[in-house]
């Protein structure tokens, strides 16, 4: 995992997508809906932070939903497995106002890691599809 290189790669892909869509008469929304699973969760957080810090003049983070990533395993991830409130408190201490969604203990073919992906992705899609004012 190298979050800085994953972040620049994601920024490059967004810029390439915008150039392509624009060259074909379309427009991409400024607000980027960002998600990632496992290692991709850390990459999603990197992209979200870069966009929030203005790394691109067009794109802005619209929503960020990382799933089952290796964030700060000892300080945040492990305690959050035991206490969802700890997860929310950790994000609040970082200055982020985010809801923590407890998916329970989903299982997919014997794996809770993959189960969190399947269950979490379904939740994220529903969240991303909701109107912004709800």
Per-residue model confidence as pLDDT tens for the chain (134 residues): 788 999 999 999 999 999 999 999 999 999 999 988 888 888 998 999 999 999 999 999 998 888 876 655 555 555 555 566 766 777 778 777 666 666 667 677 777 667 777 788 888 888 888 866 55
What pLDDT score was predicted for residue 9? 96
Residue for token pair 């994953």: 6
Tokens of 128: 């991303």
The whole-number pLDDT of residue 89 equals 75
For the chain, domain boundaries: 3-70+103-129
In this prediction, residue 133 carries a pLDDT of 56
pLDDT at 80: 53
Euclidean distance between CA atoms 75 and 114, whole angstroms: 23
The pLDDT assigned to 19 comes to 97
Overall pTM surpassing 0.85 (yes/no): no
Q: Residue 43 and residue 106: Cα distance in Å, rounded?
A: 23
* Cβ contacts of 63 within 8 Å, gap of 6 or more: 31, 33, 34, 127, 128
CB 46 within 8 A of CB 4: yes
């Amino acid at each position: 995992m190298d979050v800085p290189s994953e972040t620049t790669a994601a920024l490059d892909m967004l810029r390439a997508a915008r150039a392509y869509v624009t060259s074909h008469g379309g427009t991409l929304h400024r607000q980027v809906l960002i998600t990632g699973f496992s290692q991709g969760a850390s990459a999603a957080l990197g992209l979200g932070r870069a966009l929030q810090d203005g790394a691109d003049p067009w794109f802005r983070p619209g929503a960020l939903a990382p799933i089952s990533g290796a964030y700060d395993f000892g300080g945040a991830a492990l305690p959050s497995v035991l206490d969802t409130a700890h997860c929310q408190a950790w994000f609040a201490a970082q200055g982020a106002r985010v809801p923590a969604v407890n998916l329970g203990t989903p299982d997919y073919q014997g794996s809770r890691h993959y189960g969190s992906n399947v269950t979490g992705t379904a939740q994220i899609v529903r969240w991303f599809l909701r109107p912004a004012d709800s």
